[in-house]
Amino acid sequence: MREEPQRIAGRLEGTLRIPDTTPTATLVIAHPLPTHGGTMRNPLMATLARAAADRGWYALRFNFRGVGASAGEWSGGREEHTDLADAVAHARGIAPQLPLGVVGFSFGARMLARWLEQGGRPDAFVLMGLPLRSATGGLEEPVRIPPGAVVVNGQNDEFASPAELRRSYPDARVIEVPDTDHFFAGKRDEVARIVMDQLALAVP
């Protein structure tokens, strides 16, 4: 597999992982909170990209506005869902004939939920580490997620336990990863496999 740099919508930095086999799907990956060091180079994001390429899928990672070589300024989460929309449009332009999945982690999961609320229509999606509390411990403004949405959180997630998520989103399918925290410490490969298995239910 190999990586190719991407420029998305003329303003966002991205990187495309290309599998060794003929691609059968495309996955867009949205990174965690930029103000706490989140970028497309986050180790968990890289693990997800590798796992997707191992499945024979393109994997497009990107930096939200103001992160890395992406233009613009951090909007506090008000506008970043439009960055995800541009990344999805870019991915569809690369392979318009292929099914498309999206996965977002933490802040990226919140932006994925907002994009879905604004009419985003992937073939499959997974919300990872979806937070109910902010990095400072305060309650986050709740995001709406579609019925049946797949949410993957660590058993000991400090920003939203699986039990809290089930109470907040009774129509979601919450998958608990045992013995790990918000960042899936020690479980990156396991959680990547879980996420890919869930996406594979809808994409080949």
Q: What is the pLDDT of residues 173-201, one digit of tens each?
A: 999 999 999 999 999 999 999 999 999 99
Residue 95, both tokens: 């392979």
- Residue 81's pLDDT is 98
- Residue 100's pLDDT is 98
Instruction: Tell me what percent of the residues of the chain surpass a pLDDT of 90.
Output: 94
d(CA 169, CA 147): 8
Residue 28, both tokens: 């867009």
Instruction: Tell me what percent of the residues of the chain surpass a pLDDT of 70.
Output: 100
* pLDDT tens for each residue of 106-145: 999 999 999 999 999 999 999 999 999 987 777 788 899 9
For residue 29, the cross-strand partners are 61, 103
d(CA 168, CA 149): 13
Residue 120, both tokens: 């985003």
For residue 100, the cross-strand partners are 26
In the three-class reduction of DSSP (H, G, I as helix; E, B as strand; rest coil), residue 201 is classed as coil
Q: Which domains does the chain have, with CATH numbers?
A: 2-200 (3.40.50.1820)
For residue 56, the cross-strand partners are none
Q: Judge whether 105 and 27 are in contact, CB under 8 Å.
A: no
- Residue 141's pLDDT is 80
Average pLDDT over residues 67-87: 97
Q: What's the N-to-C CA distance of the chain in angstroms? A: 18
d(CA 163, CA 145): 17
- Residue 136's pLDDT is 74
Cα dihedral 175, 178, 182, 186 in deg (nearest 10) = -130
pTM: 0.97
In the predicted structure, residue 155 carries a pLDDT above the cut 80: yes
- Residue 39's pLDDT is 98
- Residue 75's pLDDT is 95
Average pLDDT over residues 166-173: 97
d(CA 151, CA 113): 11
- Residue 62's pLDDT is 98
d(CA 90, CA 7): 9
Q: What is the DSSP letter of 36?
A: G
- Residue 135's pLDDT is 78
